Amino acid sequence: MDWSHQNVLVTGAGGFIGSHLAERLVTLGAKTRALVEYNSNNSWGWIDESPMKRDIAVVLGDIRDPESMRQTFKNIDIVFHLAALIAIPYSYRAPQSYVSTNVSGTLNVLQEAAAAEANLVVHTSTSEVYGSARYVPMDEAHPIQSQSPYSASKTGADEIAKAIHLSFGLPVTTIRPFNTFGPRQSSRAVIPTIIAQTLNEGTVQLGSLHPTRDFNYVADTVEGFIRIAECPAAVGQVVNIGSGREISIGDLASTINSLTGSNAFIAEDPQRIRPEHSEVNRLCADNTKAKELLGWNPQYSLKEGLAETIEWIRKGSEEYKTNIYSV
């Protein structure tokens, strides 16, 4: 694909993955438009910190309000839809906000894309929709089981995306990343909170230590977005983006301890433990489809990605409130 001929919109572009994706699109030559949630401070999120911000056309709006987005979608060829509420612990407190943003907001994005006659929408799912693994590695045919209000809202969004594609012919591809990490990720995620606590505290406070996750460095996840957009055969399909390796949270904390040269004590904090039946105990991707259909392969090992992330957090670790549990 010649990206220099593409007018591209990234929703949620001020966030962690969205800002990295917007930058990658700029390097590919795409005319990149960024939808950032409206705020009275005119903050662009991580795009404010980007060396490429002058090359990104930022628009403030809210996916929950289609009127605020209408002009944003004008003359857009490809939409990367990443805007969402994502913190699982907060979804226990405010489930309605997850439905309004992740389900209704996604419907608004899809309808605006259809009205603008966009050539493609890349809809962002999550491995959390699978729930605890019934078998590993987990392919795209794995049963769906929503174990938190967050995952339920994302399942709803996935189904809305599929329905709009089948009902109205809007070309939609669903990318399903497993656990992405890297620079710019907030402290509500497990890897930044482990690193920040390791660098600043004598004890690392975590939730359950036994669950396993499939972690992917953000540059690999972003490349998955690019590859799936370049693949016409992926339209109407769901594709996992995962490393195919799993590690327990306890072992992950020990690995980070070693990489930082720390001897921090690793402990379970009861307030961080999810409800028993809500905890996803195991995630590990089958990435065969991504490899065969997209030609995608992860380039970073876990330790390589962790080293990059540690270095970034080390430069600004004081910004992470390690004495506060971020939900």
Residues 90-110: pLDDT tens digits? 999 999 999 999 999 999 999
193/85 same-domain check: no
Q: What is the CATH number of the domain that holds 188?
A: 3.90.25.10
Looking at mean pLDDT, say which of 37-41, 156-160, 274-278, 314-318 comes out highest: 156-160
Query: Cα–Cα distance between 20 and 17 in angstroms, integer?
Result: 5
Domain assignment of residue 77, yes or no: yes
Domain assignment of residue 107, yes or no: yes
User: 156-160, 190-194, 196-200: which has the minimum mean pLDDT?
Assistant: 196-200
127/263 same-domain check: no
> What's at 75, amino acid-wise?
N
Domain assignment of residue 292, yes or no: no
Q: pLDDT per residue over 236-262, tens digit each? A: 999 999 999 999 999 999 999 999 999
* DSSP state at residue 269: -
Domain assignment of residue 79, yes or no: yes
**Residue 316: predicted pLDDT:** 76
**Residue 122: predicted pLDDT:** 99
Looking at every residue in the chain, the average pLDDT score rounds to: 95
pLDDT over 80 (residue 327): no
196/74 same-domain check: no
113/139 same-domain check: yes
213-241 average pLDDT score: 98
Domain assignment of residue 123, yes or no: yes
198/274 same-domain check: yes
Domain assignment of residue 169, yes or no: yes
**Residue 319: predicted pLDDT:** 66
125/227 same-domain check: yes
More reliable by pLDDT, 320 or 63: 63
Measured CA to CA in angstroms, residue 86 lies from 17, 26, 52, 76, 278 at distances of 12, 25, 25, 26, 15
Q: Which domain holds residue 306?
A: 183-213+246-283+302-319
Query: Cα–Cα distance between 211 and 213 in angstroms, integer?
Result: 7
Q: What is the CATH number of the domain that holds 165?
A: 3.40.50.720
pLDDT confidence of 200, banded at 50, 70, 90?
A: confident
58/116 same-domain check: yes
Q: pLDDT per residue over 24-48, tens digit each? A: 999 999 999 999 999 999 999 999 9
Domain assignment of residue 198, yes or no: yes
39/118 same-domain check: yes
> pTM for the full model?
0.96
pLDDT confidence of 188, banded at 50, 70, 90?
A: confident
Residues 6+ apart with CB under 8 A from 46: 14, 15, 16, 18, 19, 184
224/98 same-domain check: yes
For the chain, what is the domain count?
2
Evaluate whether 317 touches 199 at the Cβ level (below 8 Å). Answer: yes
Evaluate whether 61 touches 109 at the Cβ level (below 8 Å). Answer: no
**Residue 201: predicted pLDDT:** 83
Evaluate whether 308 touches 315 at the Cβ level (below 8 Å). Answer: no
149/275 same-domain check: no
pLDDT over 60 (residue 127): yes
pLDDT over 70 (residue 318): no
pLDDT over 80 (residue 322): no
98/223 same-domain check: yes
pLDDT confidence of 317, banded at 50, 70, 90?
A: low
> ∠ CA(183), CA(21), CA(4), 5° rounding?
145
100/231 same-domain check: yes
Domain assignment of residue 129, yes or no: yes
Cis peptide before 270 (omega within 30 of 0): no
**Residue 213: predicted pLDDT:** 98
E-only strand ranges, the chain? 7-11, 31-37, 56-61, 78-81, 120-124, 172-177, 179-181, 203-206, 212-213, 215-217, 238-241, 247-248, 265-268
Residue 162 is encoded by which pair of tokens?
Answer: 């599929």
